[in-house]
Amino acid sequence: MKTRSKKDLLQTFITIICDNYTTREDLEVSWGFSCLINYGGKNILFDTGSDSIVLSNNMARLGIDPASIDMLMISHQHWDHTGGIYYILNARRGVQVCVPKSFSVNFRKDMKRYGVELIEIDKAQEIFPGFYSTGDLEGPVREQAALLQTPSGTIVITGCAHPGIVKIVETAKKILPDDELALVMGGFHLFDDEDEDVFKIIARFKKMDVRYAAASHCSGENARKLFAREYGNHFIALGVGSAITLESIK
Ligand SMILES: [Fe+2]
Ligand SMILES: [Fe+2]
């Protein structure tokens, strides 16, 4: 795979818009996840949190115009990831919407009513240069994750990681085998896991040379604590308002 240039590197920037945690008092916290990815000159909104009110308030306070979104990428069909979608569809008619192929027929029909350009993901796919979907991965709930190729390595962004966070990272490694894993961020879905299981997952992360970990949303308080302990200053305590630059994950 072709590695992106230094110029593209500087443009890569991720902002957390909805999350169970926050880094700023003026931003609203809610159960759910959404982040804005500026990559290759495009604005990609990955998931939309649980509702339009929180999404729109936080976007306004972060200075993000909903009409500037080029593509919506939805990880999986759960309310806390799809809840704010109509706020964007209303502000940005004809936006591209990228969803796993397993989304319900009614959901897809509804998207078409808004005149969106629907991209349905089955297998792993490069959606535009350097930006990938892992494919519609099997799990208790089917889900896709986003992969961003950067000169510092791959960034993996997950919604809830229902297919398993390790499986998602392994898939990223298969898709981009020559690239290092710079950062895995988002919901890891470990809130019911015992310490022992979380330690096994952290060990797998380390074996795959995941450089930075940013467990948030549904990762669970305990998993966040254990990741923070094991990753030290390579753990990023994500929350609404967090901004990831490639500088911060060198
Ligand atoms: Fe979730
Ligand atoms: Fe979920």
Residue 1 lies in a domain: no
Residue 208 lies in a domain: yes
In the beta sheet, which residues pair with residue 184? Answer: 156, 213
Number of structural domains the chain divides into: 1
The alpha carbon of 233 and the centre of ligand 2 are apart by a number of angstroms equal to: 28
92 pLDDT band, cuts 50/70/90, is: very high
The 10s digit of each residue's pLDDT in 208-227 is: 999 999 999 999 999 999 99
The alpha carbon of 161 and the centre of ligand 2 are apart by a number of angstroms equal to: 7
Residue 49 lies in a domain: yes
pTM of the model: 0.95
CATH, residue 185: 3.60.15.10
- Give me the helix-helix angle, 195-207 and 221-231, nearest 10°: 40
In this predicted structure, the answer to whether residue 110 has a pLDDT above a threshold of 80 is yes
151 pLDDT band, cuts 50/70/90, is: confident
Give the ligand with the smallest distance to the CA of 162: 2
Among residues 142, 123, 141, the alpha carbon closest in space to that of 133 is found at 123
- Residue range(s) defining the domain that contains residue 15: 6-249
In the beta sheet, which residues pair with residue 35? Answer: 16, 46
> What is the pLDDT at residue 9?
47
Q: In what order do the strands lie in the sheet with 125-128?
A: 125-128, 131-133, 146-150, 153-158, 181-187, 210-216
Among residues 229, 209, 212, 211, the alpha carbon closest in space to that of 221 is found at 229
Among residues 36, 177, 163, the alpha carbon closest in space to that of 100 is found at 163
The alpha carbon of 127 and the centre of ligand 1 are apart by a number of angstroms equal to: 23
Mean pLDDT of 52-72: 97
Mean pLDDT of 68-90: 97
Mean pLDDT of 48-76: 97
